[in-house]
Amino acid sequence: MEDTRQNFKISGAGSCSGGIYDEVKISGSGVINGDIDCNTLKSSGSSDIKGNIKSQLIKCSGSSSVKGNVETETMEISGSSDIKGNLTASDVKISGSSGVDGDVRVKKLKISGGSDVKGNLYGGEIRVSGGTKIGKDCECESFIATGKFDIKGLLNADEIDIQLYGRCKVREIGGRNINISFSSNHGGIISQFVMNMFVGIKELITDSVEGDDIFLEGTTAKIVRGTNVTIGEGSNIEKVEYTGVLKVISGGRVQNEVKL
Amino acid sequence: MEENLISKKELLELTKISYGQLYRWKRKKIIPEDWFIKKSSFTGQETFFPREKILERVKRIKNMKDEASLDDLAEIFSSKLSDVMLTGSEISNRKIIIKNVIQICYPSENMDKIYSFNEVLYMDVVQRYLMDGGISIEESKIVFETIKSSYSNYLEKNCEIVFIRKMGVGISMILALPNQIYFESLAKIIMRLQINKCIEELKLKLEELF
């Protein structure tokens, strides 16, 4: 059968029961009572979707809530959105606030607003510059953060690059290259100054850090295990176990060091 | 059952792999999540692994990783069923399943019938049972019927096929793992077989052949 998908638009207040469409646009307040399968979904008002969404492109600039799972190629959220199920996508940009109750699977994720994932976050490249909360584990190829985050489980990535702002918390960190530093080379002197004024505390608290090459600033950890480890300014580590080289620089504190 | 465990530190020392590698393998699910056993220690938590299993797995990954990419390895070690299709004569010519076993399982089919991975897996299980010698051909048909009709309930989960016999009467069953079962003293466990191991080995066999 020929694929004859229709467009669907809600521009005042309206509701529909779901279905298969080409383009769905909600610019007033819309309620969709079932599952929806469409090529593009654009919502700029408030939308409430009671089922699952399957789409190629989703753009939300108003507020939206989804009761089911969301599966899409590209997703851009600049308003607030709330997904009760899982989110699966290849490219996601969040600049508003978003909440996902289930797991998130993405190839590329950029968060510059606040987001709260209650499940696991699996991904390729993850960039965080807003406040992010993850309820379980975060596993990805690269994790680049310049904002605040709180990860209740394990942060596992090949490349971990964290520039500290505010108070960051992770239960465990594991990976190959781990670099946690006070942000220094970003922006001019004035923006630095302003940032420092607003962000008093810059620290990361964790139980354990395990990796191959580790550089830590401003980090409080019970144990750090790795090949080559550098402990820098503002770090306080109870125990370091290393097999290669350990460097303690600019007043980093290590209570107990063990070369294996 | 108290398993013999190995700490993460000891594992890395013994196998000469790095934290980076281990975490990458974990991400790729080449090392199953449930092998990471957390135990509390003075640093909060320490991770342990089932010793035998992890040592064997790491050895295998190290041997294979020159030829196969990590994603291929992940495919092999996952309990997902692969999507190969083979004819009866291909299976027997390549010595995956011997002809007799194919005929026991599918007596009314000729050798041109195309079998899916699942079906090959079922025959593989039957073959292992028969090779072991503990059951008769008639009983092997019971095993085949059991797995054929019930395995779909356990897809992507680990389970085991158990065959017991009491006073000459054989019964086969599928159980989800991990489990603990006890039988009355007259019943004898003839054989138990973990399906994930079969899947893994069968995938490896197919990988080598194609």
- Does the beta-carbon distance from B19 to A260 stay under 8 Å? no
pLDDT at residue B61 in the model: 84
Position with higher pLDDT, B72 vs A46: A46
> Mind giving me the DSSP string for B131-179?
HHTSS-HHHHHHHHHHHHHHGGGGTTS-EEEEEEEETTEEEEEEEESS-
Check whether residue B191 and residue B107 sit in a common domain: yes
pLDDT at A248 over 70: yes
Residue in B with minimal Cα distance to A159: B20
- Rounded to whole angstroms, the Cα distance separating A164 from A203 reads 6
Check whether residue B123 and residue B96 sit in a common domain: yes
Check whether residue B26 and residue B92 sit in a common domain: no
Q: How many CB atoms lie within 10 A of CB B124?
A: 23
Check whether residue B107 and residue B174 sit in a common domain: yes
Last residue of a domain, one of B77, B93, B127: B77
Strand order in the sheet with B5-7: B5-7, B44-50, B37-41
Number of domains within chain B: 2
Residue in B with minimal Cα distance to A139: B27
Closest CA to B157 of B81, B57, B72, B66: B81
Residue B72 contacts A, CB cutoff 8 Å: no
Contacts of A223 in chain B (CB under 8 A): 43-44
pLDDT in tens, B11-68: 888 888 888 889 888 888 888 888 888 887 765 678 889 888 888 888 888 887 777 7
Check whether residue B99 and residue B140 sit in a common domain: yes
Check whether residue B143 and residue B189 sit in a common domain: yes
> Cα dist. A75→A6, A42, A55, A57, A178 in Å?
21, 10, 9, 6, 29
Check whether residue B124 and residue B194 sit in a common domain: yes
Residue B44 contacts A, CB cutoff 8 Å: yes
- Rounded to whole angstroms, the Cα distance separating A149 from B117 reads 44
Least confident of A200-209, A227-236, B1-10, B154-163: B1-10
Q: How many CB atoms lie within 10 A of CB B184?
A: 6
CA of B13, closest CA in chain A: separation in Å?
9
Position with higher pLDDT, B35 vs A190: B35
Q: What angle do CA A17, A22, A28 make, to 5 degrees?
A: 55
- Rounded to whole angstroms, the Cα distance separating B71 from A157 reads 16
Check whether residue B127 and residue B36 sit in a common domain: no
pLDDT at A171 over 80: yes
pTM comes to 0.73
* Averaged pLDDT for residues A152-175: 91
Token digits for B83?
A: 């999507």
Last residue of a domain, one of B77, B112, B139: B77
pLDDT in tens, A88-147: 999 999 888 889 999 999 999 998 878 899 999 999 999 988 789 999 999 999 999 988
Contacts of B26 in chain A (CB under 8 A): 139, 156, 174
3-state helix, strand, coil in chain B (%, to 5): 50, 20, 30
Q: How many CB atoms lie within 10 A of CB A201?
A: 10
- Does the beta-carbon distance from B19 to A222 stay under 8 Å? no
CA of B42, closest CA in chain A: separation in Å?
9
pLDDT at residue A187 in the model: 54
- Rounded to whole angstroms, the Cα distance separating A25 from A40 reads 8
Check whether residue B63 and residue B157 sit in a common domain: no
pLDDT in tens, B150-204: 888 887 788 899 999 999 899 999 998 888 888 888 898 999 898 888 888 888 7
- With beta carbons less than 8 A apart as the criterion, state whether B162 and B181 touch: yes
Adjacent-strand bridge partners of B39: B46
- Rounded to whole angstroms, the Cα distance separating A38 from A5 reads 8
Check whether residue B198 and residue B104 sit in a common domain: yes
| 3-state SS, residue A218 | coil
Determine the structural domain holding residue B129 and report its residue range: 85-209
**CATH classification of the domain holding B9:** 1.10.1660.10
pLDDT at A56 over 90: yes
pLDDT at A8 over 70: yes
pLDDT grade for A1, boundaries at 50, 70 and 90: very low
| 3-state SS, residue B124 | helix
- Rounded to whole angstroms, the Cα distance separating B95 from B205 reads 10
Last residue of a domain, one of B77, B99, B132: B77
According to DSSP, residue A88 is labeled E
Cα-Cα end-to-end distance for chain A = 67
pLDDT at B136 over 70: yes
pLDDT at residue A103 in the model: 93
Closest CA to A213 of A223, A200, A224: A224
